[in-house]
Structure 1
Amino acid sequence: MECTTVLPLSQLSFFPPKPCNRQNRAYPSRPWKQRTSQPTRFNCQKMYVPGFGEASPEAKAANNLHHFFTYVAVSIVTAQLQSYNPEAYKELMEFLSRHSLSDGDKFCADLMRESSRHKSLALRILEVRSAYCKNDFEWDNLERLATKKVDESNTRLMRDYVLETTHGES
């Protein structure tokens, strides 16, 4: 998924590597012994994304989705509680007013330690979070929607820029 090889710009090529000419090999029976003065070229099909250090963009997105799944699970559980257990709903809503959902794991850990009743709510949230992620979240739809959003946004921004810059030339 990731390519971590970094070559100087002077060694990068925008053209595919030339096919190997088998007649000019120094050791035709042992190609691994062949010596070349050319730098080794790595064919990586993915873009190198600088500045992410400890994690890839996908790892950062997964982390954000992880927290989002907690938010979704809390929404599902609160909706369920509201209709069949108003007392637990009220307790969870009070807890929500005092604790941030920005870090899903911290939220669940704090909820577990609040009381034994809260612990059962936290376990329910963990269960729903896992089930939603594995069974209900539409991963293919996410890819389709994200790609569509980027394409539409790029088109809109380019169109707006062209309209803005050509409108003044009239």
Structure 2
Amino acid sequence: MEFFTVLPLTQLSGVMPKTCTLIRAHPFKPWWQRNSKPARFRCQKMYVPGFGEASPEKKAANNMHNFFTYIAVRIVGAQLESYNTEAHKDLMEFLDKNSLNDGDKFCAALMRESPRHKGLAMRILEVRSAYCKNDFEWDNLQRLASQMADESDTKLMRDYVLETSHDPRSD
């Protein structure tokens, strides 16, 4: 059995973000003259609990930043493979010993490895910035992410309905 609690409107201030405002149809008219419309909330954005240290967008931006470092390392590695095999070998050896999970830590460690590695790190930083600003298709990312969420939601709901509506006696 499911239970839920209905909070009076006076207690919602701790739950709702400060950007929300309560709109009542006619709060000071007698009940027989009031409109039957319920109270509505007008909010700018959806409140996401549990992200006190950073917004979901900030966390996504950090992940994208690290992803751009990964892309830049792949691009620089592919470029070096064709015209500077020694530098390519140095980069691949460094990559085997160091994680790319944190792009800034990776580049900082690469810079401090040796003067030759510093040049590789600078090239990676240039490519990372150029790729992010000029080549990455931000509109396509938004379209694909939205499309994937919609398709995934639909599939999960369809699978659930099929699973729960299946009559085991019909087998």
The TM-score with structure 1 as length reference comes to 0.77
Distance in structure 2 (CA, Å) of the matches to 1:51 and 1:156: 27
Identity score, percent:
70
Corresponding residue SS for 1:151 = helix
Distance in structure 1 (CA, Å) of the matches to 2:106 and 2:21: 51
On the 8 A contact 2:23/2:41 being kept in 1, the answer is no
Change (3 A) 1:9 1:73: closer
Structure 2 counterparts to residues 146-161 of structure 1, below 5 A:
146-161=145-160
* Distance apart, 1:73 and its partner CA: 0.2
* Distance apart, 1:17 and its partner CA: 1.7
Distance in structure 1 (CA, Å) of the matches to 2:61 and 2:144: 16
Distance in structure 1 (CA, Å) of the matches to 2:166 and 2:105: 52
Give 5+ residue unaligned stretches, structure 1: 1-5, 25-40
How many residue pairs are counted as aligned between the two chains?
145
Distance in structure 2 (CA, Å) of the matches to 1:51 and 1:106: 26
Is 1:167 aligned to 2:166, yes or no? Answer: yes
Q: Deviations over 1:130-169 (max 9, x none)?
A: 0000000100000000000000000000000111111235
Corresponding residue SS for 1:113 = helix
Is 1:52 aligned to 2:58, yes or no? Answer: no
* Equivalent position amino acid for 2:94 in 1: F
Structure 2 counterparts to residues 73-84 of structure 1, below 5 A:
73-84=72-83
Which one scores higher on RCO, CA 8 angstroms, separation ≥ 6?
Answer: 1
Q: What RMSD, in angstroms, separates the aligned Cα atoms of the two structures? A: 2.8
Q: Deviations over 1:92-123 (max 9, x none)?
A: 00000000000000000000000000000000
Give 5+ residue unaligned stretches, structure 2: 1-11, 30-39
On the 8 A contact 2:22/2:41 being kept in 1, the answer is no
Distance in structure 2 (CA, Å) of the matches to 1:101 and 1:168: 50
* Equivalent position amino acid for 1:105 in 2: D
* Distance apart, 1:20 and its partner CA: 8.1
Distance in structure 2 (CA, Å) of the matches to 1:77 and 1:110: 17
Change (3 A) 1:19 1:112: same
Structure 2 counterparts to residues 11-90 of structure 1, below 5 A:
17-18=23-24, 43-90=42-89
Corresponding residue SS for 2:100 = coil
* Distance apart, 1:9 and its partner CA: 5.5
* Equivalent position amino acid for 1:127 in 2: E
Distance in structure 2 (CA, Å) of the matches to 1:108 and 1:135: 21
Corresponding residue SS for 1:7 = helix
